[in-house]
Structure 1
Amino acid sequence: MKILTTFLLIFFLAACTSKPVSSKDNDITGKTWKLTEINGKPIQLKNPKSVPYFSLNMADMRYSGHGGCNGVGGTFEIKQEAMRIKFNQGMSTMIACDDLETEQLFTKALLAADNYSVNSNTLTLNKAKMAPLAKFVLQ
């Protein structure tokens, strides 16, 4: 019984001292996020120098980036405390390339996402509670 009481006390103290997640930990703005997975599969590019990426600018509430072939951008809405995000249809250049399919999936994932999660330097865009749409790492 003494061992059980000691274990419960240690467990309780550890729970009380754990660091709560703050909105600063969830801040994905002002950073560049490079695509690593789309629909649960690692990206495979014909041109590995053109990895899709994006960043969020809070000053004008715009996202910008590169889909692998074309520049992409538009406006976004974010609620960091709830980890909710919405990318609005924006603009894109119209250059054809070998990785156009990956670019289309990247753009589709951005526009479908309604929430996100952050784990260290990995960002995951999600739709509802379904499987992740896309995963990114800090560039």
Structure 2
Amino acid sequence: MKNIQLIAAAAILLCSCSATKTIGPVADLNGEWDIVKVDGKAIDTTKTEFRPTLGFETAKNNVFGCAGCNSIMGTARVNKDKQTIDFSEIGSTLMLCANMEYEQQILDALRKVKAYKDGGEGLVDLTNGRGKTVLTLKKQ
């Protein structure tokens, strides 16, 4: 009887361990993220006025952040099941800063975003319609 109980316990333990290794959808996008790469190149924050960020309130379809100088705001419709994003009606303020090296690159990349995927090591990749990563985010 003890052997059957041990075998049953071992089977339950093995099943529960394998279930935690199943890779599902990317973590919830809600909250604030640092933009750490644009078009595969690391962002040097010494060349930005402010840290480039994106924030999501998916229940309200809101996106907000900073492109390095100007504030970003608009609508982001996130489909968690399909891991898609529709940035409709997105815009930014129009300030001029001393250093705007990444500003236009980030705004151009945002216009291309169609989906998102796990970037590994706590990162999320925002991808274009062909699946190419255009922005990489790291949770704050």
TM-score by length of 1: 0.76
Q: Which residue of the partner structure matches residue 55 of structure 1?
A: 55
Percent identity over the alignment is: 23
CA contact (8 A) 1:33 1:123 kept: no
Aligned counterparts of 2:129 and 2:139: Cα–Cα separation in 1: 23
Bigger Rg, structure 1 or 2: 2
Give me the CA root mean square deviation.
2.3
Q: Which residue matches 1:71?
A: 71
Q: What's the offset of the Cα at 1:113?
A: 0.6
Q: Helix, strand or coil: the match of 1:133?
A: strand
Q: Does the CA-based 8 Å contact 2:112-2:129 persist in structure 1?
A: no
Tell me if structure 2 keeps the 8 A contact 1:86–1:111.
Answer: no
SS of aligned partner of 1:17: helix
The residue aligned with 1:112 is: 112
Give the Cα separation in 2 of the matches to 1:52 and 1:129: 24
Could you say which residue in structure 2 is the equivalent of 1:21? 23
Moved more, 102-111 or 128-137: 128-137
2:102 partner SS? helix
In the other structure, the counterpart of 1:7 is none
Greater mean deviation of Cα atoms: 85-94 or 32-41: 85-94
Q: Deviations over 1:50-76 (max 9, x none)?
A: 121011112321101111111110001
State the AA in 2 paired with 1:95.
Answer: M
Residue matched to 1:8 = none
**Alignment gaps of 5+ in structure 1:** 1-12
1:90-118 CA-to-partner distances (Å, cap 9, x unmatched) read: 23111111332311111111221101112
- 1:1-139 equivalences under 5 Å are 17-18=18-19, 19-23=21-25, 25-29=26-30, 31-47=31-47, 50-118=50-118, 119-139=120-140
Greater per-residue strand proportion: 2
Question: Relative to structure 1, is the Cα distance of residues 70 and 49 closer, same or farther in structure 2, using a 3 angstrom cutoff?
Answer: closer
Q: How many residues are matched? A: 124
TM-score normalised per structure 2 = 0.76
- Please identify which structure carries the higher helix content: 2
